[in-house]
Amino acid sequence: MEFDSVSCYSIYSVQSRERKMAETSASAVDLDEILEEVGQFGKYQITSYLLISLPIFFTVISGTSYVFTAGDLDYRCHIPECLDSGNQYMPPWIANAVPFEGKASHRIPSRCLRYEPANENITSHSPHSVSCPAEMFLNTTIRCNKWVYQRDESTIASEWDITCDENQWKLTLVGTVNSIGYFVTTPIAGYTSDRFGRKAVLLGAISLACFSGLARSFANNYEVFLLWEFLDMALGGSIYETAFVLGMELVGPEKRVLGGAIISAYNGLGEVFLGLIAWAVPYWRWMLRVIYGPAIFLLLYFWILPESVRWLIAHGRMNEADSIIQKAARVNGVVLSDKYLNMMRAASSLEQQAALKDDKADAESTDSVPLKDVLIEVFQSRVLLLRLFVCCCCSCVNMFVFYGLSLNSVTVAGNKYLNFILVSLIELPGYLATYLGMDRFGRKMTLCASLTFSGACCTAYIFVANVEADWMRLVLFMAGKFGITISFTVMYVYATEMFPTQLRHSLLGTCSMFGGLGITVAPQTPLLSRYMEALPLLLFGGMSLATAVLALLLPETVGTKLPDTVEEAENIGRKPVPLTPPRRFSQRDVFSQDCVQSLTLKSASSPDV
C-alpha cells in the first residue's frame, strides 16, 4: 500500500538522519574523558546507583516470586473415615491410614496414596474414628481425590488442588510462562530503550509490571493466574537490563567493574529479600500485594532519575547531556575545565553541520532510502556476529544454571526459605570476587574460570546425591551458585563493553533474549529429579563446562573504553594502530573546518584501547 511505503520511508529516513547526527556528535565528545574529569564514581554516581537499586530489587523479587507462589507443598490424602482427618497434616494415627515414602532421614506421608478401608461401612461416626487404628485399613493402597495441606503456607497448589506427579507440570509451567514473557519482550525493550531512552522504558516497564502483578493476586483460577504471570514479565521484564545499562553508562572506564558488581549485588540482595518476604508472608495472594503495592512509588523517578548522558550524546541531545554533566560536576565538587566546554561546542557545531548536510541531501534526492535496522548492521559485521553468537550462548547457559540452582535449592531437605536465602546470599561473595578479579585477571579468564568451577561443583553432586548429610548437597549448591554468579556478572559487563553505544542495549537485549531460553527451561529441571536426583545438577555442570571452552573465542576488553561506533567495536582485541600526539584546540579553532575534519578522522581511525 502507498501509505505503508510512505510510513516506512519516513521512519527510516528519520532514524538514518538521527543516527548520522548522533555518530557525528559522539565522535566529537569522549564521555569517558569527561567522566574522568567529573569523577568516575563520585557522590552523583553513588546517589544514582542508590536510586537504581530499588527498581532492581523490585524486578528480581517480582520476577522470581513464582518460586513460592507456585511452589510445591507438603500434603497427604484426606481420610474421611477418621473424624479429625482435616484438622492437622500429621495426626498421631496417620501411619495407620497412609503409607510413608522418602529417605530414611526424611520420611513423609504419601501424597496421593492411602490404605484401602477394611470395612466400607465404617464412617467418621464410628467409635474408632477418633484414633483410626490400623485394623480399619488393609495393606493395599488406593488413590485419593481430596487432600489435607500443611496449614503454615499457601500456594496455587493448595488453592486449586494442583497435586500428584501427573499435575506437577502445571506448577513448573508457571516459571516457564514467566520466562517466555521475559523472552518475548527483552529485544523489543532493548530497541525502544536505544530509540526512546533508558529512563522512559524503565518507568513504563515499572508501571505496567505493578498493574499486572496486583491483578495476578486477584486471579480466580489457574488459567487467569497464568495469563497475568506472562503479562507481568512481558510488560516489566526489561527493568533489570535497562537499569543495568543506565548504571554502566554512568561511570568511567576504571569504575565500570565496580558499577557492574554493585548492580549485580542488588540482584542477590533482591533474592534474599524475596526469601524473607515469602517466609514472613507465606500466603501467595498477600505476598504478591506486599511485593507490588509499594513499587507504585517508583513512578516518582520521573522527576528524580536522570537520563543516560551517553544515550543523550549518542542521539545528539547535547543541551540535555550538558545540563546533567554540569549537575554531576556540582554534586561531585568539581569545576569543569575549558577543555570540556570546547568539546561540547565542537559537538554542537558538528551536529549543526551534519543536519544541514542531511537537509541538503534530502532536498536533492528522495529515492535513496538506507533501510538499515539494528539486526542488519550486526549481520554486516562478521566480527560482531560471531561475538553476538558467543555472548548469546554464554547468556543462555548462565541464566539456565543461575536460575536452575536457585529453583532446585528449595527441593533440598530442610527449611526451603532458609535454603533459598543461603543460595542467594552466596551471590554476594561472588560479586565481590568478580570486582576483585575482573580487572586483575581480565574478563575472558574470569569468565572461563568461573564457568569451569561452577561446572565442576555441579558435576560433583552425583557423588553426594544419596548421602544422608543434607548439608553436603547444600554446600555444592552454594559453590555452584558462587561460580555461576561470577560468570553471570562478568557476562553483563563483558557484553556491555563489546558493542557500540547505538546498538548496545539492543544487542544486550538480544543476548538476554537467548538467556531467556535458559530461564524458560530452568523451571522444568526439578521434574528431572524424579528419574535421577543428580540429573539436574549434571545437566548444569555439562553445559557450564562446554560454554567455558566457547568463551575462549571472545576478545579481551579490560582497559578499553566503551565503543561508540561499529568500527570501534570491531577493533576491540586487534593490534592498536600508532597514534599521533593529540592536538590541542583553541577556542577559535573549535569552529574551523580543519577542526571538524580532524575530529571526524580521529573518530574514524582511532582503535579502542
How is residue 287 written as a grid cell? Answer: 505476598
Residue 597 in this model has a pLDDT that exceeds 50 = no
Residue 203 in this model has a pLDDT that exceeds 80 = yes
Q: Are 56 and 270 in contact (CB under 8 A)?
A: yes
- CA-CA-CA-CA torsion sign (91, 93, 99, 101): positive
Q: Helix 593-605 to helix 2-28 angle, to the nearest 10 degrees? A: 100
At 359 the pLDDT is 40
What residue spans of 197-221 are helical by DSSP H? 198-216
Residue 609 in this model has a pLDDT that exceeds 50 = no
SS3 label, residue 456 = helix
The band of 84, judged by pLDDT with boundaries at 50, 70 and 90, is low
DSSP 105-168: TS-EE-SSEEEEES-TT--TTSTTTTT--GGGEEEEEEE-S-EEE-TT-B-HHHHTT--SGGGH
Grid look-up 552523583 returns 44
Strands (E), 5-92: 75-77
Give how far Cα 266 sits from Cα of 55, 333, 490, 586, Å: 10, 27, 15, 45
What's the mean pLDDT in 481-488?
A: 90
Amino acid at 437: G
At 595 the pLDDT is 36
β-bridge partners, 113: 143
Residue 378 in this model has a pLDDT that exceeds 80 = no
Q: Are 292 and 215 in contact (CB under 8 A)?
A: no
Residue 502 in this model has a pLDDT that exceeds 80 = no
Q: Helix 382-409 to helix 443-459 angle, to the nearest 10 degrees? A: 40
Q: Are 402 and 240 in contact (CB under 8 A)?
A: no
What's the mean pLDDT in 352-370?
A: 40
| Spatial separation of the C-alpha atoms in residues 244 and 263, rounded to whole Å | 7
Tell me the pTM.
0.72
Report strand pairing: 113-117 vs 137-143: antiparallel
Amino acid at 339: K
What's the mean pLDDT in 21-44?
A: 69
DSSP 271-291: HHHHHHHHHH--BHHHHHHHH
Residue 22 in this model has a pLDDT that exceeds 80 = no
**Considering the chain, what percentage of its residues have pLDDT values greater than 90?**
17
At 528 the pLDDT is 85
| Spatial separation of the C-alpha atoms in residues 123 and 142, rounded to whole Å | 17
How is residue 476 written as a grid cell? Answer: 555444592
At 260 the pLDDT is 75
Lowest mean pLDDT among 131-135, 393-397, 405-409: 131-135
358 or 64: which leads in pLDDT? 64
Q: Which residues contact 216 (CB under 8 A, 6 or more apart)?
A: 225, 228, 229, 232, 288
The band of 348, judged by pLDDT with boundaries at 50, 70 and 90, is low
In the chain, the domains with their CATH numbers are: 40-71+166-302+373-553 (1.20.1250.20), 75-152 (no CATH)
At 366 the pLDDT is 36
Nearest to 58 by CA among 302, 267, 278: 267
How many other CB atoms are found less than 10 A from the CB of residue 490?
30
Residue 131 in this model has a pLDDT that exceeds 80 = no
At 407 the pLDDT is 84
At 447 the pLDDT is 92
The band of 590, judged by pLDDT with boundaries at 50, 70 and 90, is very low
| Spatial separation of the C-alpha atoms in residues 292 and 59, rounded to whole Å | 10
What's the mean pLDDT in 454-479?
A: 83
The band of 483, judged by pLDDT with boundaries at 50, 70 and 90, is very high
Mean pLDDT rounded to a whole number for the chain: 77
**Considering the chain, what percentage of its residues have pLDDT values greater than 70?**
78
Query: Residue 602 burial by CB count (10 A; 0-12/13-18/19+): exposed, middle or buried?
Result: middle
| Spatial separation of the C-alpha atoms in residues 561 and 569, rounded to whole Å | 10
pLDDT tens by residue, 512-530? 778 878 888 888 888 887 7
What's the mean pLDDT in 130-153?
A: 82
Q: Residue 87: phi, psi to the nearest 5?
A: -85, -35
How many other CB atoms are found less than 10 A from the CB of residue 505?
32
